[in-house]
Amino acid sequence: MVQNVAAQMAELEEGDFHLLSGIEHGMRFSRWVSEGKLPKFSRLDEEEVTYRIDRCMDRELVERKTIQYTGYRLTFEGYDALALRTFSERDTIDGVGAPLGVGKESDVYEARSFQPLALKYHREGYTNFREVQKEREYTADKEHRSWFYTARKAAEREYEALETLYPEVSVPRPVDQNRHALVMEKLDGVELSQAKLESEQVVGVLDLILEEMATAYREGYVHADMSEYNVFVSSEGVTVFDWPQSVPTEHENSEELLERDVDNIVGYFERKYPHETPEIDRAALAGALVEDEFETARNFA
């Protein structure tokens, strides 16, 4: 598990960030940055580099490997520190609070700002980088990429999708993005998987989710990973989140992915609410959403 570095930020000095940025730069060329190249990349002299390495190693912001040569690379904590510094310099946030959710591919924390926000760090590839490389389209054509690259591309893709969809689609309002992290609106409500809907609410909530999927398609995106774990339900309606794997509608597999999304979400309702969920022709429903005929799609739900 990646540790929250927010509490360490006040201890870090300008030179520490020079070293972290230098290692980040060097990692564009190799997974481990040779110790001899650090003065050039960080613009620090050798003595300063040695001092800063000790400080950053003590705080687990970098790690070392000594085999053919002594090399260094950032840990995710070090990458988090760089993103946090940028958000602070931009006055995007002024503090990090309690965790909101920790998963295999992201960590989400409360962010203190002019209003309650959420800070999301992408962790794609942290535990199983090779599998993520195969599955994620934005890394599928790259033979040699670190998990930092994978996570950054995921954050960029998610932020781009949110900017395109908000506010027409009920998604978290995007605020800022840097490296593998993004800041967005903090969601209210409860995850669909944890919600206990009353009998009379089931069809209405399913209808709302399908409407958001239809609007997203009309605005140019398919979520491509819809499930009960990325929909929030509240008294205001539903919010669809987690968009890093989304694809544009011009993608060759967009209709197939939309049909899979429909299958996933309808299947969840059928399993959890078998008596309240009507029988649905899922393929016909997906086709109606593609044709922007949501009123027709209602007939299937």
Instruction: Measure the N-to-C terminal CA separation of the chain; round to a whole number of Å.
Output: 41
Whether 225 is catalytic is yes
Annotated catalytic residue, options 141, 176, 225, 281: 225
Centre a 10 Å sphere on the Cβ of residue 219 and count the other Cβ atoms it contains: 14
Active site (catalytic) residues: 225
